[in-house]
Amino acid sequence: RTGIQLKNRTTDGSDPYAPYYRKGSAASHISAAEIDALDLDGVDLVHVTGIPPALSESARAATHRLMDRAREAGIFVTFDPNLRPALWENEETMRQVLNELAEKADLVLPGIAECEVLAGTADPEKAAAFFLDKGPKAVIIKDGSDGAYLFTAEGSTKVPGYKAEKVVDTVGAGDGFAVGVISGLLEGLPMEEGVRRGNAIGCIQVMTAGDNEGLPTTEQLQAFMERRDAD
């Protein structure tokens, strides 16, 4: 069957009830064989989240295979752990699998609360060291409206966030942040500028009802950042 999601509409910034019926869905039956059939020629970046490997053993194997193939082809790999404990057999399996996947990424994008689960600490510097020791080139740790921390082997920086005028719906902020970072990477911008974009899109998202209705065009994003930076 096709996986479906239901979501309460919210306009007051509270976390909406959003049951997601994806266990046993068609997508959960994806396997490494489908990944091997993909043509990766011309692909510049592969983005992976921690949700597919939670759905089934075959989807877990497919996720590993995709990251392995991307690395073999020299394709940049980004990884957002996107913790969904309810989908996993137990927390220990979730932690082990997601940390194994983090080892195969060039850039890891955890939230500060996810660091506490995966790295055993909510301290950004200690969490970043935990992930960087596994092999990624960079770690970006999201810290809500406070912005995000960027860590590489060369050093670290805190990129301030943008304050929302009114938080309407928090769903989609993390994905919006990833959009900012990834679009920056694909356009060849410095990673810090991508983090600024991510902070801006995350802010825009929480001020809009719905998961992706707030995603801006390039022009809308630039205007938002210029206006806020001038304040």
- Decide if 207 contacts 168 (C-beta within 8 A): yes
Q: Catalytic annotation on 68?
A: no
**CA–CA dist 141, 81 (Å, integer):** 11
What is the distance between the terminal CA atoms of the chain, rounded to a whole angstrom? Answer: 50
Structure-token match 């356009």, residue found: 187
Catalytic residue among 68, 123, 146, 175: 175
Phi, psi of 134 (to 5 degrees): -85, -15
| Separation of CA 1 from chain center | 26
What's the CA angle centered on 61, arms 100 and 55, to 5 degrees?
90
Residue 198 CB coordination number (10 Å): 28
Catalytic residue positions?
Answer: 175
